Chains A and B, each alone.
Chain A
Amino acid sequence: MLITFPSHSCWITAEDSSPSLFSTGNTHPTVTMANPFTRVMSGRNTALMLASVGAGALASGYMFTESSSAAAAERRRLYPPSADFPDLRKHNNCMASALTPKMYAHLRDMVTPNNWTLDQCIQTGVDNPGHPFIKTVGMVAGDEESYEVFAELFDPVIKDRHNGYDPRTMKHPTDLDASKLTSGMFDERYVLSSRVRTGRSIRGLSLPPACSRSERREVERVTVNALSGLKGDLAGRYYSLGEMTEREQQQLIDEHFLFDKPVSPLLTSAGMARDWPDARGIWHNNAKNFLIWINEEDHTRIISMEKGGNMKSVFERFCRGLKEVEHLIQERGWEFMWNERLGYILTCPSNLGTGLRAGVHIRLPMLCKDPRFKKILENLRLQKRGTGGVDTAATGDTVDISNLDRLGRSEVRCSVKRQRRAHESTERIDKSTGLGCDKLCPLLVFNLSSALK
């Protein structure tokens, strides 16, 4: 039998059962421990496994036909891993760079306890070759165990994406103590708004690419129940995507809170848009500066934001809110997916660790045009995006600047400090191009005020 497991996957054991059930030699079936949220086993690999168990001739009403064990053996003979190895010659993503035929042969027939396979992890990377200039990740996790079962591929991808971070040997520091943040107040003539976001996954439930409807609904229930326990400035309410009124929808659009069904093929190929809009929704506090997305690209996305440049306040609320939510779910027997090697576990390997993107919408009219801008950002470990988010263009001279890193650095370290430096360097650069700051300011004020008209 081709289903095997790495030696450290101790969660996979056979239930006690009569020897006749598992008598086919070196078979190790993927029967899981009683996990209350294991969904019904399905998929090609289950069929293969159960068929080989010798269920043989069954009356109707049972799952398998007479021919299934023979069919399974024939399929394995006809399609060795080499027949299924994807053609990645025109691809430019981290998965395509890391996946070798040998690796694929080891991993193809493995499954996680939730029956998630390698092919399912990499489907998005196979379907989306990427761009010569933009290297996407090209794979997703279906559950927490994916990062273990398919470590042979995930580890080099993580290393590639996170600047050499090696999950086998390194540890990720988590630090959500907002008091450690130095400075964090930005000049509001430049910084229009500040925002910190991250994601959290609920341990024991499959991730958006893989989850069944019932698991997704469970994520919604667990999260909404916990959020209803938030008090004070964090008290708020939940809006289910499928049930909100037209007026609520318009309000959320106007506030830029509403998320819609993903259209990016990177996301849809991974299967995270299935059953839309079932069990998706938005929660926000009454003050409208703490927002949670449920079942979009991750189980939860947590966002703290406000107009202006008070990043310290945004981060403080972020940390406080996160801790409260974690405490509330723990009270009910749940926890977030987290481990020492990878930090917080999220769907996309690019979001491991902190999953944190702290950013500002900032006007940098002079700096944006400066040819050194890109290099400056690189050195500060910052990235720019358009004001519509990832893959959008900047409107006017306003850009979205945020930290580049997610894994290997704690939340506090993550460039929140560095954004202040970016802002400072605006003034320095302007001085060095011959325009004194005193001359520049009126120019900027003029720009700003004319832009505001």
Chain B
Amino acid sequence: MSDKVDDAAKCMSKLTLTVNRRCVDDEYPDLSKHHNHMAKVLTKDMYARLRERVTSSGFTIDNVIQTGVDNPGHPFIMTVGCVAGDEETYEVFKELLDPVIEDRHGGYKPTDKHKTDINSDNLQGGDDLDPAYVLSSRVRTGRSIRGFTLPPHCSRGERRAIEKMSSEALDSLSGDLKGKYYALKDMTEEEQQQLIDDHFLFDKPVSPLLLASGMGRDWPDARGIWHNNNKTFLVWVNEEDHLRVISMQKGGNMKEVFARFCTGLTKIEDLFKQHGHQFMWNEHLGYVLTCPSNLGTGLRAGVHVKLPNMSKNPQFEDVLKRLRLQKRGTGGVDTAAVGGVFDISNADRLGFSEVELVQMVVDGIKLLVDMEKRLEKGQAIDDLIPEQK
């Protein structure tokens, strides 16, 4: 064994000598004006070490960081600035990704273990959020299929294989999960319009954050949308991740949304297993997805909620922070709120289980609605201000 390693080492060094390499100074990116997690962490020395490495599917450090180099970011909004091309990326480039993960996920250490819990029975309450304020409820996550490279790196053949496997698995769902797959490139005008009206359709990414990583290649080949006949369970295939799984409905019954989410996910996972496939998951990182920000649960549970008074209150931001929640406009990330209606969801992804995160949303929204009602009546909310969770 050690002979083989010695031989291989000699071969490697010969190969290395043959390929005259330029010095690190010339290759290291200029990150002096950048504000993202990757730029904060990647020193020249680290880059010098990591450019010696490559995953077995050929993903390099330059591939990992390209999106962060191309998108300097904003002093107030820290984007991640790096992506994974395959499951191995998180291992091979851990020197960069571990500190990025720690910074992004509230101090999550390389030795920490992540707990997965998709048993919706463990959720307390959540079926009684006031529908006069809570307009809709939604839970989404992502899943990656082990053995395939991720959207920034996958070949057309792999992407098509993922589409085929996914649409076959989804086709065998039954009961209230029975539904249909619509491939982006084959859908009719009518189908397209219907999906737009239902707010289901996703389009080619325009965000330079996503395009710079290469996930828009070959659009719309092997991309599609599956949804059940009831239009409450939806799966996106080959958008930013292999699969994005979404459960949603109008009103405030988050419990029901989460129950369907868990049932659907478990059924899909079982179907994949029957065909010899599994989701990318490990004890430390939980579910493995393209963007390090989505590791762990990959879960965003949220509501569209009317908070016209609360949102004008100077304590709004602070309350959200204490509740470990974040706000977005109703168009999703990077949009503005319209008519006092906000998208409020959990801020965390990793280090908390699915149940814990949804619980935070349920409890938090209840509190925010109570505060809104107080403010409507002109009453104070100081006694309701929560502790930092």
Contact = CB atoms under 8 A, between A and B. Distances in A.
A71 B160 contact: no
A237 to B, nearest CB: 21
Interface stretch (A33-41, A153-161, A395-403, A408-416): A33-41
A interface majority secondary structure: loop
A297 B72 CA distance: 21
B219 interface: yes
Interface of A: 15, 17-18, 20-21, 31-32, 34-48, 50-51, 53, 55-59, 61-65, 67-68, 71-72, 75, 78-79, 83-87, 90, 119, 123, 126-127, 212-215, 217-218, 242, 268-269, 273-276, 278
A145 to B, nearest CB: 16
Contact of B19 (A32, A65, A218, A273): A32
B29 A213 contact: yes
B187 to A, nearest CB: 13
Interface of B: 1, 4-5, 7-12, 14-15, 18-23, 26-30, 51-58, 60, 62-63, 66, 69-70, 88, 155-158, 160-161, 185, 211-212, 216-219, 221
Contacts of A273: 70
B30 A278 contact: yes
A21 B20 contact: no
8 contacts: A20-B11, A57-B1, A62-B9, A79-B157, A83-B160, A127-B216, A269-B217, A274-B66
Given A43-B58, A51-B56, A278-B30, A84 B157 contact: yes
A215 B23 CA distance: 11
B164 to A, nearest CB: 11
Nearest to B14: A17
A71 B158 CA distance: 14
Contacts of A68: 56
Given A42-B54, A43-B58, A127-B219, 14 more contacts: A17-B14, A31-B19, A34-B20, A38-B20, A38-B21, A42-B60, A57-B8, A58-B12, A65-B56, A72-B56, A79-B161, A127-B216, A269-B217, A274-B66
Contact of A39 (B11, B14, B22, B28): B22
B69 A83 contact: no
A162 to B, nearest CB: 28
Closest A-B pairs by Cβ, 10 of them: A83-B157, A214-B26, A44-B58, A79-B157, A68-B56, A47-B58, A214-B22, A84-B157, A42-B60, A15-B18
A21 B13 CA distance: 11
A268 B217 CA distance: 11
A123 B62 contact: no
A47 B85 CA distance: 14
A42 B51 CA distance: 9
B62 A35 contact: no
Contacts of B57: 44, 47, 71, 75
B232 to A, nearest CB: 32
